[in-house]
Structure 1
Amino acid sequence: MTITQLYYVLAVAEHKNFTLAAEKCFVTQPTLSMQIQKLEDELEVLIFDRSKKPIQLTEIGQKIVSQAKNIVNESDRIKDIVDQQKGFIGGEFKVGIIPTVMPTLLPMFLTNFVNRYPKVNLIIEEHNTEEIIKRLKNGHLDVAIAATPLEEDNLKEIVLYYEPFVAYIPENNRNFDKTEIDINDLDLDSILLLQDGHCFRDGILNLCKNKGNFTDTKFHIESGSFETLIKLADEGLGTTLLPYLHTLDLKEKDKLKLRHFKEPRPAREVSLIFPKSELKSHIIEALRSTIAGVIKGAIAFHNVEIISPLKNKKGVY
C-alpha cells in the first residue's frame, strides 16, 4: 500500500470516473487503474463497484476512503513539519474568497503578501460559501476567506475583522435626512438585494427576520453586483445595504447617501477558514498576519451585532 495509491483512490471517489480522476492526478488512466487494482488485490476487497455508472464506492470502500483521507492528510503534515523546521514558507497555496469580499479585501493585502513571501505560489479562486466549504473538505483549497460563523464541525475559523452593513439611501428616500438609521426605518418592500447564492444577501435577510415576521417575497429586485444595486437605488427603485469596505471606494457624491446603523451596528464576521487538520498552518498564519496588518487602518468597529451568514437562519451571534 502506498500514499500514491491512496491519492488515486480519493480522486476516483471524488470524481466517480477513472478517466477524469487520472486527468486530475496527471497520470494516464491505465496507470491509475492498475495502481487501484493492485491495492484492491492486496486488501482482497473491491473498493469500487465498477458495474454502476457513475462508479460507486462499495460498503468497505466507503470506510477505506474515510481512513485514506486521514492517512493522506497526515502524510502532508510531515511535509509541513519539515518546512516549518527549515523556516520555509513557500510552495503552492490555494485560497478561496467569497465574491462580496474579493474585490475589496484582495487589493489591500495581495501585494504585501507576495512581496513578503515570494516563494509562495499563491492561487486565488472566487467561490460562493457553499462551494468553498466543499472545496476545503475535498482538499482543493488550503484556506478560505468568508463570512462566519459557518457551524461546520471539520473546519476551523479565525476572525479577521467585523464589517458593518451600511445603508445606501437615495436623496428621494424618506430616510435621507437621518444621520443614523435602524433596520425598522427601512421599507422591506424596497430593499434591493444580491442574487441568491451570496451569503451577504442571506445576512441581510437574517437581519430583517430578527426584527419582524415577513417572507422573502418582499424582496423583488435582485442583481449580481453592488454597482448595479447602487444604480437601481439612484433610479428611485429602492434602497440597498453594502458591506463597509465596499463603501470606501464610492464617489464622494455617493458617499453622501450612506447611513450607518445605530449601535450595536449589524455586521458580518469575516474569517479565515481551514480544515482542522491545519495543514500549511505556517502559511495560513503568514496570511492572517499580513491581512491583520493592513485591515487595522481601514476598519475598526467594536460595538457590533454579528449577523449569521447561514441561509434562512434567524438569529445573531
Structure 2
Amino acid sequence: MTITQLKYVLAVAEHKNFTKAAEKTFVTQPTLSMQIQKLEEELDILIFDRSKKPIELTTVGHKIVTQARNIVNEADRMQDVVDQEKGFIGGEFKLGIIPTVMPTLLPMFLKNFTNKYPKVHLKIEELTTDEIIAKITDGHLDAAIAATPLHHEKIKERVLYFEPFVGYIPPSHRLSQKKKIERADLDIEDILLLEDGHCFRDGVINLCKSSKLNGGDRFQLESGSFETLIKLSNEGLGMTLLPYLSAMDVTGSQKDNLRYFTEPPPAREVSMIYSKSELKMQIIDAMYDLIVSVVRGAVAFQDVKIIPPTK
C-alpha cells in the first residue's frame, strides 16, 4: 500500500470516473486503474462498484476513503511540520472566501500579502459557508474567511473584525427622511435580500426577527449581488442592507441613500477559520495580522467603527 495509491482512490471517489481522476492526478488511466486494482487485491475487497454509472463506492469503500483521506492529509502535512519549525512562510495555501466578503476584502489585502510573502502560492476560491465547512473538514482548504460564529467542533475561528450593517434607502422609501435608523425600523416586508444560501441573508432575517417580522404574503424579490439589490432599491422596490465595506464602494449621488444605525449598530462577525489540526499556522498568522491591519487602515478616517478584535 502506498500514499500514491491512496491519492488515486481519493481522486476516483471525488470525480466518480477513472478517466477524470487520471487527468487530475497527471497519470494515464491504465496506470491509475492498475494501482487501484493492486490495492484492492492487497486488501482483498472492492473499493469501487464499477458496474454503476457513475462509479460508486462500495460499503467498505466509504470506510476506506475516510481512512485514506486521513492518511494522505497527515502525509501532506509532513512538509508543513518542517516549514513551521524553520519559520518558513511559503508553499501552497488554499483559501476560501464567502461571496459577500470576497469583492471588498480581497482587493484590500491580496497585493500586500503577495508582495510581502512572495513564496506563498495562494489558491483562492469563492465558496458558500457550507462549501467552506465541507472543504476544510475534507482537507481541501487550508483556511477560509467567513461570517461567524459557526460552532463547528472541528473548526477554529479567529475574529478578524466586526462589520456594521448599513441601510441603503432610496428617496421613495418610508425611512428616507431619517438621518439614522434603528433596529426597530426594519420590516422584512420591504427589505430586498440576497438569494438563499448567503449567510448575510440569514443575518438580515435574524436581525429583522429581533424587531418585527410580519407573517403575511409579500412581494419576494431576491438577488445574488449587492449591486443588483442597490439597483432594485433605486427602482422603488424596497430598501436593502449592506455590509459596511460594501457601502464604502457606493459612489456619487447614491451615497445620499446610505443610512447608518444608531449606536450600537448591528454588525456581523467576520473571521479566519481553519481546521483545529491545521499546521500551516505561520501562513495563517501572517495573513490574519495583515488583514486586521489593512481593515483598520481602510476605516481610520471614517465615522463608522469596524472593530478589529483585541489580541
2:163 maps to 163
Matched, 1:12 2:12: yes
Q: What residue identity is the alignment partner of 1:186?
A: L
> Which is worse superposed, 105-114 or 179-188?
179-188
Which stretch has the larger CA shift, 89-98 or 158-167?
A: 89-98
Given the superposition, is the C-alpha separation of residues 266 and 8 from structure 1 closer, same or farther in structure 2, using an over 3 Å criterion?
Answer: same
Question: 2:261 matched to which residue of 1?
Answer: 261
Question: In structure 1, what is the equivalent of residue 175 of structure 2?
Answer: 175
Structure 2 Cα separation of the partners of residues 6 and 181 of structure 1: 57
Q: Give the counterpart letter for 2:168 in structure 1.
A: Y
Query: Tell me, what secondary structure is at the counterpart of 1:256?
Result: helix
State whether residues 81 and 279 of structure 2, in contact with CA within 8 Å, keep that contact through their aligned partners in structure 1.
Answer: no
CA deviation string 1:81-132 (max 9, x = no partner): 1112233222222211111111110111111101110011112221222222
* 1:219/1:273 CA distance change after superposition, 3 Å: farther
Aligned to 2:239: 239
Number of matched residues?
Answer: 303
How far apart are 1:215 and its partner, in Å?
Answer: 4.7
| Contact 1:99–1:128, Cα closer than 8 Å, also in 2 | yes
Deviation at residue 262 of structure 1 after TM alignment: 2.9
Partner residue in 2 for 1:288: 288
Deviation string 1:262-293 (CA, Å, 9 cap, x unpaired) is 33322111111222220422212211111111
- 1:71 Cα offset (Å): 1.2
**Structure 1 residue 249: deviation in Å?**
2.0
Backbone CA RMSD of aligned residues: 2.2
Cα distance change on mapping 1:26 and 1:279 into 2, 3 Å: farther
Partner of 2:210: 210
SS at match of 2:89: coil
Paired residue type of 1:2? T
Q: Is the 8 A contact 2:163 2:307 kept in 1?
A: no
Rate the CA distance shift 1:281–1:215 in 2: closer, same or farther, 3 A: farther
Say if 1:194 and 1:200, in contact at 8 Å, map to a contact too.
yes
Partner of 1:29: 29
Which residue is 1:128 aligned to?
128
Residue aligned with 1:108, SS: helix
The one-letter code sitting in structure 2 at the alignment partner of 1:291 is I
Aligned partner letter, 1:42? E
Instruction: Say if 2:167 and 2:241, in contact at 8 Å, map to a contact too.
Output: yes
Deviation sequence 1:113-172 (CA, Å, 0-9, x none): 011100111122212222222332333322211111223332222111111111112223
List per-residue Cα deviations over 1:1-27 (Å, max 9, x = no partner): 111111111122222222222222121
Using the TM superposition, give the Cα deviation of residue 34 of structure 1 relative to its aligned residue in structure 2, in angstroms: 1.2
- Residue 302 of structure 2 is matched in structure 1 by none
Question: Normalized against structure 1, the TM-score is what?
Answer: 0.88
Query: Is contact 1:159-1:269 (8 Å) kept?
Result: yes
Q: Secondary structure at the match of 1:268?
A: strand
> Identity over aligned residues, as a percent?
66
Once residues 229 and 28 of structure 1 are traced to their aligned partners in structure 2, the CA distance between those partners, rounded to angstroms, is: 48
Deviates more, 1:95-104 or 1:294-303: 294-303
Deviation at 1:211, TM superposition (A): 2.6
| Offset from partner CA, 1:65-88 (integer Å, 9 cap, x none) | 222222112112211011122332
**CA distance in structure 2 between the aligned counterparts of 1:213 and 1:131, rounded to whole angstroms:** 29
Return the alpha-carbon distance in structure 2 between the equivalents of residues 122 and 77 of structure 1.
Answer: 17
Cα separation, 1, equivalents of 2:7 and 2:71: 10
Paired amino acid for 2:226: F
SS of 2:298's equivalent? Answer: coil
1:97 aligns with 97
**1: CA distance, partners of 2:46 / 2:174:** 69
The question of whether the paired residues in 2 share the 8 Å contact of 1:157 and 1:271 is answered with yes
Paired position in structure 2 for 1:40: 40
Q: TM-score, normalised by structure 2?
A: 0.89
SS for the counterpart of 2:152 is: coil
Give secondary structure in 1 for the equivalent of 2:158. strand
Residue pair 1:205, 1:216 contacting (<8 A) in 2 also: no
Deviation at 1:57, TM superposition (A): 2.1
Give the secondary structure class of the aligned counterpart of 2:297: coil
Contact 1:97 1:124 in 2 (8 A): yes
Whether 1:68 aligns to 2:68 is: yes
Cα distance between partner residues in 2 of 1:302 and 1:140? 30
CA distance in 1, matches of 2:128, 2:290: 23
d(CA) in 2 for partners of 1:100, 1:93 = 21
Query: CA 1:263–1:218 in structure 2 vs 1: closer, same or farther (change >3 Å)?
Result: farther
**Structure 2 Cα separation of the partners of residues 44 and 138 of structure 1:** 26
